[in-house]
Amino acid sequence: MKIRLKKKTIIILSIIAILIVAVIIIFASRNGNTYDFYTVTKGDVVQEISESGIVKKGDIIPLSFKSIGQIEKIFIKAGDEVSRGTVLAKLNSAQLYIQLQQAKANLALAQAELAKLTAGASVDEVRVAETTVDNAKTTLENEEKDLDNAVLSADNNLKETYDDAFDTLNDSYLKAYNALTTVTSIQGEYFSDTYQYSLEVKAHKDSIQKAQAEMKIFLDEAKLNFTESNIDSALVNFEKNLTYIRDDLTGIRIIIESENYRKTVSSTDKTSLDTQRGYINTAYTNITGDQQSISSAKITNKTNIDIAEASVASAKDALKVAENNLTLVTAGPRSEDINLYQAKLRSAQASVDILENQIYDTNLRSPVDGIVVSVDKLAGETVQATIPIISVLPSEEFEIEVDVYEEDVVKIEENDLVKISLVAFPKEAFEGRVIFIEPTEKLIDGVVYYEVRINFDSVPDGLKQGMTADVLIIIDSRENILVVSEDAVQKDGDRAMVEIMENGKIKEKEIQIGLEGDNDLIEVIEGLREGEQVIIQ
């Protein structure tokens, strides 16, 4: 009975488990894909090259500088015993030190600029920005007042000019009326017959009368509806008709001076006619003068208003710039600006590092403990890169020789740390250093390799020539740094991105990465915090 109950319980529990799994599957299918996450943490990143080699008897190591230069000093002679790291010779590095000082100055400047940016604006800087905004507002208010005054002044000036023109129209019409009266009197006195000259005088009088009548129409319209347009039209009409009247008066005067009428027309009437001609000429001059005054006033007013409007626009722009600057000052640095200045700082630091490495390489050091076999150059001589000038025989009896593929050998440098495993000593681990990289290639099955020689920090007892050695050449490493799995990083050119989950949604985030290790980890320089989770692709 107990066995049956036990079996029944197991069956029930199995069914429940199946139902739970089914619910989880259904829930997952309804809510999209599931994701694996990697938690950003501190760790070590290592770049290494793995090779196998053979233990061989130690051989003479030819040493050369990495760059061309003049030998400043040689510190040893043939037969001297030297230790690993001993400086054997030195190139002149004065110019490099000058460049290094400049690079350090640039680095200090980049550090100061970044510090200033991240520190934000000082109280004085905020006060200055606020004062600039206040001054810009005051300037804008003044410029707007000047614009209002310019518009008002323009209106007043133009109104006064049109008022003067209206007075001129009245005066000109009166002069035209008086001229007609004088001509009518002369006609009635001397040219009332039907002779040719009388007909011509009548024609001139009729022309003057017509002109005067037309002038009255335009003047009455201007009086009835005082507008700039009506005044302008009246001025144009008066200019035309005053010309007609002047010409008609001149025509009559010519007739009066003809042989038949020279002595007939009295000097008083002649003088009266000449006086009217003078008045008409004056009226014409006044009319054209007022037209020019109106035109000049409009041009001057437009110029003054344009200048005032431009000043207002400039003041608005200045205020906008000041307000934007105040916003920037009080808002703190943008992430884009911080990224830019951090990039400048890294570039400056890289320049310092490069020059320091170049200065370090002006010292030729012994890679091993040993004896100087030969010295082939003297101080003051110029040497070429990779041309041996000193040879050292290692004190240790054995070294390891490995062939490294051409793509990897460019990553290796002398004195790189090497971790060594020997088949003959399976339970022991050894360390050594790269002591020489052969500059001449060798072909193995048509593939280019370069010979790399490695010495032991400590030679184990029983080591023999020809033994197999597995080596890990450490070409770069970082310890206790922020790391992320390479499976979480997506690359697009020089950019590196990860995906994070934010408020239930996937969000892409750009980060800055450093060393990419052979242990599936990548150094995170910027963009992620310790403990933050990223999606693994």
Share of residues in the chain with pLDDT > 70 (%): 94
Q: How far apart are CA 492 and CA 494, in angstroms?
A: 6
Is pLDDT of 20 > 70? Answer: no
Q: What pLDDT digit, counting tens, does each position of 308-321 carry?
A: 999 999 999 999 99
Contact 535, 501 (CB under 8 A): yes
Alpha carbon distance, N-terminus to C-terminus of the chain = 54
Identity at 407, one-letter amino acid code: E
By three-state DSSP, how is residue 76 classified? Answer: coil
222 within 8 A of 230, measured Cβ to Cβ: yes
| Burial group, residue 141, by CB count within 10 angstroms (0-12, 13-18, 19+) | exposed
DSSP 92-127: --HHHHHHHHHHHHHHHHHHHHHHHHHH---HHHHH
pTM of the model: 0.52
Tell me the sheet residues that pair with 87. Answer: 365
Compute and round to an integer the Cα radius of gyration of the chain. 53
For residue 288, the one-letter residue type is: T
Q: Is the pLDDT of residue 443 over 60?
A: yes
What is the pLDDT at residue 123?
84
Q: Quote the pLDDT of residue 33.
A: 64
In this prediction, residues 461-474 reach a mean pLDDT of 93
Contacts of 293 (CB under 8 A, 6+ apart): 161, 164, 165
> What pLDDT sits at residue 32?
55
Residues 174-200: pLDDT tens digits?
A: 999 999 999 999 999 999 888 899 999
Closest CA to 367 of 421, 416, 304, 306: 416
Neighbours of 50 (CB within 10 A): 12
Q: Contact at 8 Å (CB) between 315 and 140?
A: yes
Please say whether the dihedral angle defined by the alpha carbons of residues 403, 405, 406 and 411, taken in this order, is positive or negative: negative
Q: What is the DSSP string of 336-370?
A: HHHHHHHHHHHHHHHHHHHHHHHHHTTEEE-SSSE
pLDDT, residue 30, reads: 40
Q: Give the Cα separation of 265 and 185 in Å (integer).
A: 12
**pLDDT tens string 117-127:** 888 778 888 89
Q: Is the pLDDT of residue 253 over 60?
A: yes
β 370-375/398-405 pair status: unpaired
